[in-house]
Amino acid sequence: MSDDSSSPIMPKSAFEPLPDELDFPSMERRMLGLWADEDTFERLRAKNADGPRWSFFDGPITANNPMGVHHAWGRTYKDVYQRYRAMRGYHQRYQNGFDCQGLWLEVEVEKDLGFNSKRDIEEFGLEAFADACRERVEKFSGVQTSQSVRLGQWMDWDDSYFTHSDNNIEHIWHFLRRCNERGWIAAAQRAMPWCARCGTALSQHELIDTYEEVEHDAVYVRLSIHGRPGTWLLIWTTTPWTLAANVAAAVHPDLTYVEVAADDGRYLLAEAAMSAVFGEVAEVVATHQGSDLLDLTYDGPFDDLPAVSGVTHRVIPWTDVGADEGTGIVHIAPGAGEEDFLLGRDLGLEVLVPIDENGNYTDGYDWLTGRDAREVADDVVADLRKRGLLHRHHTYTHRYPHCWRCQEELVFRVDDEWFIRADEVRQPMLDAAATVKWIPEYAGARMADWLRNMGDWNISRRRYWGLPLPFYPCRSCGHLTVIGSKAHLEERAIAGMDQLRELHRPWIDRVTIRCESCEAPTNRIDAVGDAWLDAGIVPFSTLGYLHNSAEFENWYPADFITEMREQIRLWFYSMLFMSVTIQNQSPYQSVFVYEKLNDETGRAMHKSWGNAIDFGEAAERMGADVMRWLYAGHNPLYNINFGYGPATEVKRRMLTLWNVYSFFVTYARLDGFDPTAPRIPVAERPDLDRWALSRLQGLIDTMTASLDDYLVHRGVQAAQEFVEELSNWYVRRGRRRYWKSDSDDDKQAAYQTLYELLTSLVRLLAPVMPFWTDDIYQNLVRRADPDAPSSVHLTDWPKADYSILGKELVIDFDEVLDLIRPKPSSIREDLEWNMDVVRTIVTAGRQARSEFNLPIRQPLERVIVCGVPNWQCKRIRQRLEEHILEELNVESVEYQPSAILGDFFEVTAKIDFKSVGPRLRNLTKAVATELEERAEHHGDYLERFTTEEGYAIRLHVEGKQVELGSKDVVFQRIPKEGLAVAKQDGVIVALTTTINDRLRRGRLSRELVHAIQGLRRDAGLEVSDRIHLWLDGPAALHETLAAHETEIAAEVLALAVNEGTPPESAAEAAPTLNGVPVKVRLTQS
RNA sequence: GGGCUCUUAGCUCAGUCGGUUAGAGCGCGCCUCUGAUAAGGGCGAGGUCCGUGGUUCGAAUCCACGAGGGCCCA
């Protein structure tokens, strides 16, 4: 063993020194460069090419705008689980997807081109419009790709799928043809929620999340009852524009209606609505049952309009009528309301459709014709007033649906739409959904609920850039031909194929086919498809279902998919629908959903509110790894509050790991640590090392389970705790082992252990934090070992191995007798429980010092530890005592696990409720009280008695005799005066507070070291520089030096103390230490 | 109106099978430690565990009802 303290330090180690601070963005860009240069991802794929398959389907991101930070959340999950599976050796597809057509894309293109209506598009030309849409897709799929790369997502970017591809469209055609074979395809007139701006209907699932609170004009309108002059039917509506289409007024047959006398006549309305409309003083002149009113007819509100003339307005029954709002008489316009339409259909009412697809009144509505229905409320009200039909008018606030893409208020409109019937597929879909593992579980309940309630799927949209529905209804024979593939189209076509550039409008519209039934020339309907068809077909189209069955068999169904929760009723639903139809099974086996992303104050992010965070900016300001850590560590059951504040918190945690890493590199370089040197068996390392390695094995298990279960946040939280312990206990407790001058086995064990901890940790964290972990790996592993894999991402996932901890667990006979606490059943428990107790003792000791104002620099004679079982005291005394001595700065530890400490402590006894409660039932409380009273004066006696084998405390409570054994009672010792005492988790720690001369010298010695270290730093010395030291002061100083000089010199690396005369240039300080004025001078030697 | 879900410190959230002193992080104040540390440690202020009732020897935890928030459906 060589003393190298005087030899120059020559770094032999391979490790690079670390920069002063951790700069995530620049480090991440460096790693992106490295991965690109070395084809790291391609190597990973090659490495796993023969591995077991793990199939993931990427939910397509709309290639419509730059990525938002909320996309980054989902993409983090996707990347984390794929990277984890890759480290486990799984072969994967890594296919990313873009959603490329449909209404939302058209809306953005319209905005770009400054369009306001469909007419603008028609004038612009469908070809040019299709090109503009295609260009937008190309642009933003490129932007999103580079953003995803920046996030660290590893995908086969050149193999991304695009939903506007002919391949995707063909597969949907196949699905639709299958539906038609089963008779599920139907056209029907329906009242649909309708966006007048977009000029198209929306389907049920597109209404989700679109209800917003708005103010509308609400009107009470009086309508003259035929044959009852001066008597008015009073109706109420919040949509005045629909009054022109009124054909009926609905009453509840079982409700009571009244006629109320007013100045200008008698008003008919529900009794329950009377006071709200007329106040308490209304005079009732007649009462009717709702069913009695059904013969009435009345003058409509707009009978003078040509379209309405000839309509007989009737009072009709409807059991959904209520009197909570309005008048209990409901205005019915079957052409302008969903329920109205259904009611009208049942009763055979006339259907007046007052508006066209753009929301403008059609011909026959006179002064309203050509006007936008959403803008006529004021004029309608004025007109009603002029004609004496307006009873009252007010503003009304309610939740009303909006177009989810352009934010316009929706209207309802009756139109011909195409549907897929859902009834036959409902149960098979429920059955398939039941086979899926939903995470969290309630997502499965949501899906089942949705499926039970789902209506027919409205798949037609009166738009342009979208899936062309391959529906060819024959005008001659009425047969519907549904084209199932491109080949099928070619086979049936008689014109237009030569110009068919792609399966989109306008090209597809120019193709004419022969009707399958009568061979008559037939043209396509002009509608396009719901975009959820585009996304739903992905499991088939991307696996080449129609053309490559081997590929399909290999990867279908997916092992895992993940998206935001709202996708349950969107993508998950459409995929399930299509997959059950084609394959009669679920296309996915595990589904993970997460909640919403808000800003850091919990508000939704909106560009217009100025609180949206741009992905690129966030990546460059906080770093992708920090963002990923934030996302991965969040409980997906709750909304995440995302922002720079939370990111700073994450960064601070990262800093803890950085500090450990930096500490290791600093000293490993100084010592020339060689990680390839023979390893010291873990069993032979100190308990501190074995403890840390035990914790590491635990972390490996936790992390593995959390990733297997798709609950990565649990792993991340465990990793955070591990890093805290690594820094604040393992390194803190072990640091002297690294800077001591001896190069012995203990030092080697320390280096090897910390090296193993760090290099294992980066592998465990690699899926979550791919950049930094690889950066650390490059420095710690690859530089030291040229044969190591070239990236952390090419290493194997760690496997927990507790056997390395070595040394059989031995329980002594006296430990068996120690009945108070459970014994460890493994080496792991032995190591970890003991260290836990040591940490508890230290925490309590520090607490005691703080409370009794005894600074840690003041050595104390003794710490007395109580409440720790015998076997554990023994372990600590043998192997862990140094940590207590050093942390608490005491000269000795005294263990008092069960002895009587009458001099120091009051002993109190408390019942162990868990043990006694079930046995004593309702006597428990009384026994507890009795025991506490007895123990107040005889606690120590009770304790000694009870802990003897076979004895028990006998109490008489409420006339009954109760025996308490040692397991039934918990004794606590409360120290008396003269001791500094603290208690933590059942452990009591008492410090002796008497300070003698020896302890006083010890204090000064510590103060001196502290002062000298400060001066060293001020003088700009390196931690390894040796010094010459001069100390001067009163007698107290010299007494201290006499006792502690060697120790002080060693601590501050002084080669000589008070030798010769200090030079002029010596650094100098003159502090007063614990009341002793001292002069300190030092020079570098 | 129906369903699901949530409500714990100023903020963000843990809290296992029901067990008797309800915790952490952040923020705030005081103190302390520091030869890796913009770090760490201790103390303090801050709690009607949403409310009421029930079950139980014992309830933040289970049940019922109610209030409030979120989501979904109508």
Query: Which of A784, A672, A662 shows the shortest CA–CA distance to A4?
Result: A672
- Residue–nucleotide distance: A873 CA to B71 C1' (Å): 54
- Residue–nucleotide distance: A1070 CA to B58 C1' (Å): 63
Q: What is the pLDDT of residues A824-872, one digit of tens each?
A: 778 888 888 888 888 888 888 887 887 777 888 888 888 888 777 778 8
Contacts of A450 (CB under 8 A, 6+ apart): A568, A569, A573
Nucleotide nearest to A728 (CA to C1'): B40
- Is this model's pTM higher than 0.95 or not? no
- Residue–nucleotide distance: A450 CA to B1 C1' (Å): 18
Task: Give the pLDDT score at A856.
Answer: 84
- Residue–nucleotide distance: A96 CA to B68 C1' (Å): 42
Q: What is the pLDDT of residues A291-339, one digit of tens each?
A: 888 889 999 999 989 988 888 999 998 877 777 677 888 899 988 888 8
* Integer CA distances (angstroms), A186 to A223, A459, A461, A508, A754, in order: 39, 10, 14, 21, 69
- Residue–nucleotide distance: A930 CA to B18 C1' (Å): 24
Nucleotide nearest to A399 (CA to C1'): B74
ipTM of the complex: 0.84
- A28-42, A593-607, A919-933, A975-989 — which one is most confidently predicted on average? A28-42
Query: Which of A893, A896, A982, A874 shows the shortest CA–CA distance to A943?
Result: A896
Nucleotide nearest to A640 (CA to C1'): B12
Q: What is the mean pLDDT of residues A245-251?
A: 91
Q: What is the mean pLDDT of residues A945-967?
A: 70
Residue nearest to nucleotide B3 (CA to C1'): A449
* Integer CA distances (angstroms), A896 to A534, A865, A876, A904, in order: 73, 6, 13, 11
Average pLDDT in chain A: 86
Task: Give the pLDDT score at A62.
Answer: 92
Burial class from Cβ neighbours inside 10 Å (0-12, 13-18, 19+) for residue A558 reads buried
CA–CA separation, A362 vs A112, rounded Å?
A: 30
- Residue–nucleotide distance: A604 CA to B42 C1' (Å): 40
Q: What is the pLDDT of residues A591-603, one digit of tens each?
A: 998 888 888 877 7
Nucleotide nearest to A602 (CA to C1'): B12
Nucleotide nearest to A913 (CA to C1'): B19
* Cβ neighbours, 10 Å, residue A644: 14
- DSSP symbol at A91: B
- Residue–nucleotide distance: A851 CA to B10 C1' (Å): 26
Q: A566-571 — which CB contacts under 8 Å span 24+ positions?
A: A566/A208, A566/A209, A567/A59, A567/A593, A568/A443, A568/A446, A568/A447, A568/A450, A568/A593, A569/A205, A569/A208, A569/A446, A569/A447, A569/A450, A570/A205, A570/A208, A570/A532, A570/A535, A571/A59, A571/A532, A571/A535, A571/A536
Task: Give the pLDDT score at A6.
Answer: 37
Which bases of strand B sit closer than 7 A to a protein CB? 3-5, 11-14, 19-21, 25-26, 31-43, 56-58, 71-74
Q: What is the pLDDT of residues A462-494, one digit of tens each?
A: 889 999 999 999 999 999 999 999 999 999 999
| pLDDT over 90 at A924, yes or no | no
Q: What is the mean pLDDT of residues A664-680?
A: 89
- Residue–nucleotide distance: A232 CA to B6 C1' (Å): 49
- Residue–nucleotide distance: A638 CA to B27 C1' (Å): 22
Q: What is the pLDDT of residues A513-531, one digit of tens each?
A: 999 999 999 999 999 999 9
- Residue–nucleotide distance: A267 CA to B11 C1' (Å): 56
Least confident segment among A130-144, A932-946, A955-969: A932-946
- Residue–nucleotide distance: A449 CA to B3 C1' (Å): 9
Nucleotide nearest to A734 (CA to C1'): B36
Nucleotide nearest to A600 (CA to C1'): B12
Task: Give the pLDDT score at A429.
Answer: 93
Nucleotide nearest to A322 (CA to C1'): B1
- Residue–nucleotide distance: A61 CA to B42 C1' (Å): 51
Q: What is the pLDDT of residues A1004-1054, one digit of tens each?
A: 888 888 888 888 888 888 777 888 999 988 998 999 988 888 888 888 888
- Residue–nucleotide distance: A601 CA to B46 C1' (Å): 21
Nucleotide nearest to A985 (CA to C1'): B21
- Residue–nucleotide distance: A105 CA to B65 C1' (Å): 49
Q: What is the mean pLDDT of residues A647-669?
A: 87
Least confident segment among A148-162, A284-298, A428-442, A955-969: A955-969
Nucleotide nearest to A666 (CA to C1'): B36
Nucleotide nearest to A915 (CA to C1'): B19
